[in-house]
Amino acid sequence: MTSLSDAEFIVRTIAQTAVDNEKYFGDLDSVVGDGDLGFSLARGFEIVLKDWDSFDRTDAGTFLQKVGITITGRIGGTSGPIWGTAFLRSASVAKANGGELGGDDVVAMLRSAMEGIMARGGASLGDKTLLDVLAPMTDAIEQGVANGEGGAAVMASAAASARAAAEATAPMIAKRGRAAYTGERSIGSPDAGGVAVAVIAEALAANWDSPEHTQQSTTN
């Protein structure tokens, strides 16, 4: 199993999940946000899928960097800078660590992505953003790696943690983004970006051992 094939599988799953859930993510975001999350993610990741064969695949880091540049330039609203920064920060860690990436490298990539999101969006944990889902999800991955679990088991734990964390954002008061303007009216609805992360994690977990992933891993 190569790091590049895993990166391709993860990015394609993220992209397809964003496209498939355009209405769901948009409806969630419209409750207290501006409602453009689903549209923005779907349109941006449609371009990623359209340009799929053109991305430089020298290594996983380079591939992620090219995807990140596309996302930054083509996803509208606040989603582009946030998701683009996450990909570019992850790519930098991957490139610095060379070709093959282990579980610890993946955790470092996610930690760097979160730092980038915090810096770009001015958000902190507890502000009712996707960070409140990314952080516990990353902790679950780190714990799974430390326990020596396989990829499928790690992703299953990550998905369960992400879903629980997304649901836990419901009673929070939004402090960043358009939702912050609604104040206490944001209580009772989960953060749309956090739910998106959970849905993506669940898609990755469900398909980790799929023929598409395992065949791709053995042929790359």
The predicted model scores a pTM of: 0.90
Largest CA distance in the chain: 52
Whether the per-residue pLDDT at 181 is higher than 80: the answer is no
3-state secondary structure 3-38: HHHHHHHHHHHHHHHHHHCHHHHHHHHHHHCCCCHH
Whether the per-residue pLDDT at 1 is higher than 50: the answer is no
DSSP conformation class of 124: -
Q: Which of 45-59, 72-86, 134-148 has the lowest mean pLDDT?
A: 72-86
Q: Is the dihedral of CA 218, 97, 103, 115 positive or negative?
A: negative
Query: How many contiguous H segments (helices) and E segments (strands) does the chain have?
Result: 10, 0
Q: In terms of pLDDT, which residue wins out, 169 or 122?
A: 169
Say how far apart CA 109 and CA 138 lie, in whole Å. Answer: 10
The amino acid sitting at 110 is L
What is the arithmetic mean of pLDDT over 166-170?
A: 94
Most confident of 117-126, 189-198, 207-216: 189-198
Say how far apart CA 108 and CA 89 lie, in whole Å. Answer: 10
Tokens matching residue 16 = 């397809």
Tell me how far the alpha carbon of residue 142 is from its chain's centroid: 16
Whether the per-residue pLDDT at 184 is higher than 90: the answer is no
State in Å, rounded, how far the first CA of the chain is from the last one: 8
Q: Tell me, what's the pLDDT at 136?
A: 97
Q: Tell me, what's the pLDDT at 31?
A: 78
Q: Is the dihedral of CA 138, 196, 209, 101 positive or negative?
A: negative
* Residue range 129-153, pLDDT digits in tens: 999 999 999 999 999 999 999 999 9
What dotted CATH number matches 3-209?
1.25.40.340
